[in-house]
Amino acid sequence: MKKITLFLISLCICFSADIHAQGKRSSIPLKHGAHRIGKRTDPEMQRWREHGLGQFIHWGLYSIPGGFWKGQYYDYAAEQIRSWDLVPNEEYDNLCNEFNPTAFDARKWARQAKEMGARYLIFTTKHHDGFCMWPSKYTDFTIANSPYKKDIVKQVVDAYNREGIDVILYFSIMDWHHPDFRGSINNPEDSLANERFKQFTRNQLLELVTNYPTLKGLWFDGTWHAAWKQEAEFADNLEKELRILKPDLIIGSRFRPDDYGKRGTDSNGDLMGDYEQGWERDLPNSKEELYGNDWDCVMTIPENQWGYHSEWKGYVKTAYDLIEMLVKSVSMDGNFVLNFGPDSKGNIRPEETRIAGEIGKWMKTNNEAIYACTASELKPQGWGYFTQKENKLYLTVFNRPINNRVKFEVPKGTIKIRKAYLLADKREMDIIDGGRNKKDDLLYQIAIPKGFTPDQPFVIVIELEDNRNDKNQYQQALT
Ligand code: JFZ
């Protein structure tokens, strides 16, 4: 019986994935387009999907200038200061001789990430400036030639893994330091240099996957330049090669171009990679914008600073803002990844530490509404977001209704409610029958106890009847 139900469910899932894909597909023949239509179904990808919250860390030589060059304020993202007209490349590259993060303690970072509730980390091994945080054999521009000398990537991977946190390595294809890097190919000499650069890129990626065998995936960046957009075949072969080394490697949609230089989604509209990487400092507002793909949102605390900038300008998000983004992401089947930019000594700045603590405090009480949760078909009504797991619905309330009643509608003949309670203290809550609407959907109101005045968003749990015979119907209502 159970097997038949499962079979029916998977049939529905396959079928809906097909309809979805057909809805947006054209049929241009591609040699190097998407490898798959629909989501990956293996355990590693499922594990990634269940993380809910991640941490991003941008760390490199750029943390030394920290957004200032000879007293001048750099108004753009601090990790890109090398590209500023005021900054002579050679002087920037000489920062390698200064990089000595004596306060760096990977275990401290990892403990903080764990306390915050992060289940995965994305760490910059090499940003656009080309400086390698691991002792790459293929260039001298690495941590091995800094006064610090020790392999930072290894320390980070080991410390985070020890805390049970998965690590994904960030890698910029674009490399402003390497003499063979070309943004575009304009003559035969460029072509030759580009061929050498491709081999360098391949060597470094194979090196990373080999050196750090517990890595879960690669987060690619710097793939928008004209030269790379012409490398559909090379990139496709390289991805295949990386997957042979590590079959369940997770690679986002910002790596390969297709045969026509199209990135992210191929010329037929299908996602190239295991998840959508386009939600950068941005969140979708509806599931329709997601085309059924896996996705994560990477977010900065200030407006647009990834690497350390000693003076944040503009609006700085609060823990409240970030928790709302986290819940909103999970309510649409996405992960939320919060960025940190440590300083040149290896300290996480106090503002970030405070926010990590506040998020961690919230997660401690409420993580049940985040980890391994998925979207719900029920429509939130202004008070916040629904997430769900097994026979539980979670309502995370950000906007407390003035009458202390949280409303929602249950489509006719779908779920049956057993009880409602506050996640914070398990206190049972009254469920008020609000009648039916014109479509015969059931209307409910849950009463927030008067004396309950938390200073953070809170979660109401709705436990559903787990009627096995109704499982199929229940699944249809919720998936
Ligand atoms: C890139 C980098 O240039 C930046 O320094 C940082 O590392 C960030 C995480 O990634 O910036 C991007 C890349 C892509 C988009 C926006 C900023 N995008 O697709 O909108």
**Topology adopted by domain 3-369:** TIM Barrel (3.20.20)
296 close to ligand 1 (CB < 6 Angstrom)? no
Atom of ligand 1 nearest to the CA of 264: 19
- Among 451, 464, 325, 326, smallest CA distance to 391 is for 464
What tokens were used for 188? 């035969």
The span from the CA of 264 to the CA of 271, in Å, is 6
Q: Pocket of ligand 1, candidates 306, 308, 338, 339: which has the most ligand atoms within 8 Å of its Cβ, to mutate?
A: 306
CA–centroid distance, 421 to ligand 1, in Å, is: 41
Distance CA 409, CA 398 (A): 18
The predicted-structure confidence for 235-277, as pLDDT tens digits, reads as follows 999 999 999 999 999 999 999 999 999 999 999 999 999 999 9
- Residue of the CA atom closest to atom 7 of ligand 1: 306
Topology, domain 384-478: Immunoglobulin-like (2.60.40)
So what's the pLDDT on residue 466? 74
Q: How far is the CA of 335 from the centre of ligand 1 (A)?
A: 17
Name the residue ranges covered by the structural domains of the chain.
3-369, 384-478
pLDDT of residue 24: 52
- CA of residue 162 to ligand 1 center, whole Å: 29
Is the shortest distance between the CB of 312 and ligand 1 below 6 Å?
no
Distance 222 CA to ligand 1 centre (A): 8
Q: How far apart are CA 255 and CA 222, in angstroms?
A: 9
**What is the atom index within ligand 1 of the atom nearest the CA of 278?**
19
Identify the segments of the chain with pLDDT beneath 70. Answer: 1-25, 467-479
| 220 within ligand 1 shell (Cβ under 6 A) | no
Q: What's the predicted TM-score (pTM) here?
A: 0.92
The first and second tokens of residue 8, run together, are: 């029916």
Q: Does the beta carbon of 67 lie inside 6 Å of ligand 1?
A: no
pLDDT digits (tens, 9 = 90+) for 267-308: 999 999 999 998 999 999 988 899 999 999 999 999 999 999
Q: How far is the CA of 124 from the centre of ligand 1 (A)?
A: 12
Regarding the beta carbon of 278 and ligand 1, being less than 6 Å apart is answered yes
CA max distance for the chain: 75
